[in-house]
Amino acid sequence: MRVLVLGAGGQLGRDLVPQLRAAGHEVLALTRGDLDIAEEGALARLLRSSTFDRVVNCAAYTNVDRAEAEPELAERCNSQGPAMVAKACAGSGVPLCHLSTDFVFGGDPPEGGRGWLESDPVSPSGVYATTKRQGELACLAAGGPLYLVRTSWLYGNSGPNFPLAIVRRAVGGHPLRVVADQVGSPTWTLDLAGALTRLLDLPPCGLLHLSGTGRTTWHRFAEEILSQAGVDAAVSPVSTAEWGAPAPRPRFSVLESERLAALGLAPLRRWEEALGEYLRSDPSVATVLHHSG
């Protein structure tokens, strides 16, 4: 297949592009500097001049707290941009894979302790979550063939991420205060990229949840990072209220899927196992740990 990846310079895009190529696909990887998805007609012109079998939109405004101060920019990237991408893909008949987020969920967890399913109602709160939900709705409204993939708590080998930040602060002797009352599922971008590569071989399936298996808090996640990295440091638990971030966060955003099995896809592996491989494979983590010794 010939695949167009938008937002290829981000954490997920940087893992997805080589995975697609390794699977034998021809990939055109475009960063925001190459193509602004919110520019009127930009993608439509490209789709008229080139043939693609799939388009994957990884482009997004992801700074959750800054979005509260930059709502217009967040809306442009997370709502208006996906709307234009979906419209262009629908007009050309090209299946679109659009990435969304666990932040569309909020409020009390589902009954019985299960995670959020694709059929559960959403309740986004804050600029980031609201604009990402608007992007979902725009993709659905376009009416074209669609993979709408929600994921959660992403971290990857390219650029800043939570595990690397925790290791750096611990090695640097800085105090660690981490929120302990938000529950979710950490997801390594390399695992997600592999799942997306397999998904794109299937017919468009609509909404799908893809995230690491299992659940944890940010505090427990930080403790596991330090344990697996072999760093002895204390992590102090704090509440969301004590942390005082500008943007609201879901207290419970564990994603589960009621559709993976029917598609013949396996769930992503346990978050602890993926974290261990990430810590062993990221050169930035290795550099930090080396200097600490």
What sign does the dihedral 37-39-40-45 (CA atoms) show? negative
Contact present, 142 and 82 (Cβ < 8 Å): no
- Structural tokens at position 164: 């690397």
One of 61, 128, 155, 278 is an active-site residue; which one? 128
| Torsion on CA atoms 276, 281, 285, 290, rounded to nearest 10 | 110
End-to-end CA distance of the chain: 47
Residue 128 annotated to the active site:
yes
> β-pairing, 216-217 with 183-184?
antiparallel
Contact present, 78 and 7 (Cβ < 8 Å): no
DSSP, res 3: E
* Residue type, position 189, single letter: T
Neighbouring C-beta atoms of residue 231, cutoff 10 Å: 16
Residues classed as catalytic = 128
